[in-house]
């Protein structure tokens, strides 16, 4: 056989192995497969490339994509990634490890997940975090399922209109097949309407509600009183949040939430066309055993040394099968490490500084854009951090084209006909001035 660098078998090895098995050829190993299932044709794949050809091929593809400076958010944020993170997460002991079921040889993974859970808890103010979910939208959908499971007989979940469209979209998908009724809480001045929430609660059957901390307009919402309104009806509250912003914003716990979910991407994970990111999900102690996904806990080994294990596994699919709290198995473990290293490097001071920089630069862009006369304020005076919307007075396509031609990606059109911009600490004042000039 022609050699291939990932297959270690020599012809002699193959011969010896077939002999031990007592068969003559590979065909004998597939003798139990009906002949009409064996593929007889040629696989429609390219000829094998050498490693250098593969690298050249992808460099070619990469060069076809315009490299734009990102002034867009909408659920994916271009924060700076310190060099330490890829260095650590690429360590083969982390990246080539399996799920830490064999705890004796997985203490590295288990410890960083425990640290991750701790960090998610301090950011959200919640008691318990799981080991990660796929992304923010799926975490939100899981919170919907969790609230309905907890409510036993109630089957409606209220979803704020001000959540990002992809979050509402994935919630709607999961709800459809699970037979859960979704009702939309209206927006009022760009924020979740408390009156609408209360009206929907009074219609009955409400298991819980999902509302954003920072919403799709970039507005920091005031969730005061919402948890009380829900709890009075024995319904739960999930807050969807940006974990980077939580370093300065009121926590879901402070708003009275039972569950906090969101996407960990703003914690230094590259945009990478949408993934891999990491969903996070945390809750109060009361609902700990209803939480989906893996959870790491601390214990002792036989010699009394501190040790970490996957725990409360009776919730999970490999034990409970169809009665599990979720079907999730693989999650986004390595991205949880990514986030953990990021937060370790940043600390409370660094996180504050990132938010200060975002705030200042986003507000600078906001003011500069209004000066151009090409935009109007939409939600004047509404507090925002790094993302905001304006009403364009010129066609959106024209704005986007001018930006792209000048090397920028921004002015995303929202469902309401506004355009959104986002500024992170990676964008300098010079970048902002250039962007404004391009318009």
Partner 1 sequence: MSKIVEGLKYSDTHEWVKTEGDIAIIGVTDYAQKEMGEITYVDCPDVDDEVEKGGEFGALESVKAASDLFSPVSGTVTEVNEAVVDDPKLVNDDAFENWIIKVQMSDASELDDLMDASAYKAFIKE
Partner 2 sequence: MKYYDKLIFEISKPGRRGYSLPEPCSKCQGADAIPATLRRDKAPELPQVSEPDVVRHYTNLSQMNFGVDTGFYPLGSCTMKYNPKINEEIAAMPAFGGIHPLQKDVPGVDAVYEGMDKALAAITGMKHFTFKPCAGAHGELTGLMIIREYHMSRGDTKRTRIIVPDSAHGTNPASAAVCGLDVVVVKSNVQGLVDVEDLKPLLDDTIAGIMMTNPNTLGLFEKDIREIASLVHAAGGLLYYDGANMNPLIGTVRPGDMGFDVMHLNLHKSFSTPHGGGGPGSGPVGVCEKLVPFLGVNVSGFNGNFGVILRAYAYILMLGRENVKLCGKLATLGANYIKESLKDLYKLPIESVCKHEFVFDGLINDGAREGKEGAATLDVAKRLLDFGYHAPTIYFPLLFHQAIMIEPTETESKETIDGFIEVMRKIAAEAAQDPDILHGAPHTTPISRPDETTAARNPILKYWDA
Closest CA to 294 of 423, 432, 113: 113
Per DSSP, the three-state class of 211 is strand
CB of 260 to partner 2, least distance (A): 13
Smaller CB separation from partner 2, 233 or 345:
345
Cα separations (Å) of 93 from 88, 103, 340?
A: 10, 14, 16
> In angstroms, how far is the first alpha carbon of the chain from the final one?
61
CB of 315 to partner 1, least distance (A): 8
CB of 289 to partner 1, least distance (A): 7
Tokens of 423: 């500024």
Stretch that binds partner 1, among 189-197, 256-264, 265-273, 308-316 (CB under 8 A): 308-316
Smaller CB separation from partner 1, 313 or 414:
313
Given 20, 67, 300, 323, the residue binding partner 1 (CB under 8 A): 323
Contact call for residue 231 and partner 1 (CB under 8 A): no
Q: Tell me whether strands 206-212 and 387-392 are parallel, antiparallel or unpaired.
A: unpaired
CB of 174 to partner 1, least distance (A): 23
385 binds, among partner 1, partner 2, none (CB under 5 to 8 A by kind): partner 2
CB of 406 to partner 2, least distance (A): 15
Q: How far is residue 203's CA from residue 185's CA, in Å, rounded to a whole number? A: 12
| Residues in region 252-291 near partner 1 by CB under 8 A | 289
CB of 341 to partner 2, least distance (A): 6
Q: How far is residue 189's CA from residue 326's CA, in Å, rounded to a whole number? A: 36
Given 319, 370, 393, 397, the residue binding partner 1 (CB under 8 A): 319
Report CA dihedral (240, 241, 243, 248) to the nearest 10 degrees.
Answer: -150
At which residue do the structure tokens 């962007």 appear?
435
Per DSSP, the three-state class of 372 is coil
Length in residues, the chain: 439
Per DSSP, the three-state class of 419 is strand
Stretch that binds partner 1, among 48-56, 311-319, 334-342, 397-405 (CB under 8 A): 311-319
11 binds, among partner 1, partner 2, none (CB under 5 to 8 A by kind): none
112 binds, among partner 1, partner 2, none (CB under 5 to 8 A by kind): partner 2
Contact call for residue 320 and partner 1 (CB under 8 A): yes
Smaller CB separation from partner 2, 200 or 388:
388
Q: Is 85 in contact with 112 (CB distance < 8 Å)?
A: no
Smaller CB separation from partner 1, 53 or 311:
311
Tokens of 225: 């009183």
Q: How far is residue 419's CA from residue 84's CA, in Å, rounded to a whole number? A: 35
Smaller CB separation from partner 2, 49 or 199:
49
C-alpha triplet 181, 185, 189: angle, nearest 5°: 165
Residues pairing with 57 in the sheet: none
Binding residues for partner 1, rule CB under 8 A, total 7
Q: Find the helix or strand (DSSP H, E) in which 109 lies.
A: helix 107-124
CB of 57 to partner 1, least distance (A): 47
Given 314, 329, 367, 397, the residue binding partner 1 (CB under 8 A): 314
Q: Is 184 in contact with 161 (CB distance < 8 Å)?
A: yes
Contact call for residue 300 and partner 1 (CB under 8 A): no
Smaller CB separation from partner 1, 278 or 309:
309
Smaller CB separation from partner 1, 289 or 306:
289
Smaller CB separation from partner 1, 44 or 322:
322
Footprint of partner 1 on this chain (CB under 8 A)? 289, 312-314, 319-320, 323
């Amino acid at each position: 056989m022609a050699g291939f660098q990932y297959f270690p078998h020599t012809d002699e090895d193959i011969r010896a192995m077939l002999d031990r098995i007592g068969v003559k050829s590979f065909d004998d190993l597939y003798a139990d497969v009906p002949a009409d299932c064996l593929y007889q044709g040629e696989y429609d794949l390219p000829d094998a490339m050498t490693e250098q050809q593969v690298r050249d091929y992808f460099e070619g593809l990469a060069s076809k994509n315009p490299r734009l400076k990102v002034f867009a958010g909408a659920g994916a944020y271009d924060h700076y990634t310190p060099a330490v993170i890829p260095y650590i997460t690429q360590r083969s002991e982390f990246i080539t490890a399996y799920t830490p079921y064999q705890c004796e040889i997985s203490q590295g993974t288990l410890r960083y997940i425990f640290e991750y859970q701790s960090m998610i808890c301090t950011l959200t103010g919640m008691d318990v975090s799981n080991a990660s979910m796929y992304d923010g939208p799926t975490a939100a959908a899981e919170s919907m399922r969790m609230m309905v499971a907890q409510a036993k007989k109630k089957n409606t979940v209220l979803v704020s209109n001000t959540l990002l469209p992809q979050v509402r979209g994935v919630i709607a998908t999961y709800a459809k097949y699970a037979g859960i009724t979704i009702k939309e809480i209206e927006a009022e001045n760009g924020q979740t309407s408390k009156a609408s929430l209360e009206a929907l609660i009074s219609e009955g059957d409400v298991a819980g509600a999902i509302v954003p901390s920072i919403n799709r307009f970039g507005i920091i919402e005031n969730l005061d009183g919402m948890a009380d309104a829900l709890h009075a009806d024995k319904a739960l509250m999930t807050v969807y949040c940006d974990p980077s912003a939580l370093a300065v914003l009121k926590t879901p716990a402070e708003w009275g939430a039972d569950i906090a979910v969101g996407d960990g991407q703003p914690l230094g994970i590259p945009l990478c066309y949408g993934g891999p990111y990491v969903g996070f999900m945390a809750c109060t102690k009361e609902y700990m055993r209803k939480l989906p996904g893996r959870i790491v806990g601390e214990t002792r080994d036989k010699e009394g040394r501190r040790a970490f294990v996957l725990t409360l596994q009776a919730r999970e699919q490999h034990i409970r099968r169809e009665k599990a709290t979720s079907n999730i198995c693989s999650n986004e473990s390595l991205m949880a490490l990514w986030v953990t290293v990021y937060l370790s490097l940043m600390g409370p001071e660094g996180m504050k500084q990132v938010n200060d920089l975002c705030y200042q630069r986003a507000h600078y862009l906001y003011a500069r854009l209004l000066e151009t006369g090409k935009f109007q304020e939409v939600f004047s005076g509404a507090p925002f951090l790094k993302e905001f919307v304006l009403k364009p007075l010129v066609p959106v396509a024209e704005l986007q084209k001018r930006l792209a031609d000048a090397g920028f990606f921004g002015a995303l059109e929202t469902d309401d006909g506004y355009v959104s911009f986002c500024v992170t600490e990676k964008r300098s004042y010079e970048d902002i001035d250039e962007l404004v000039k391009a318009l």
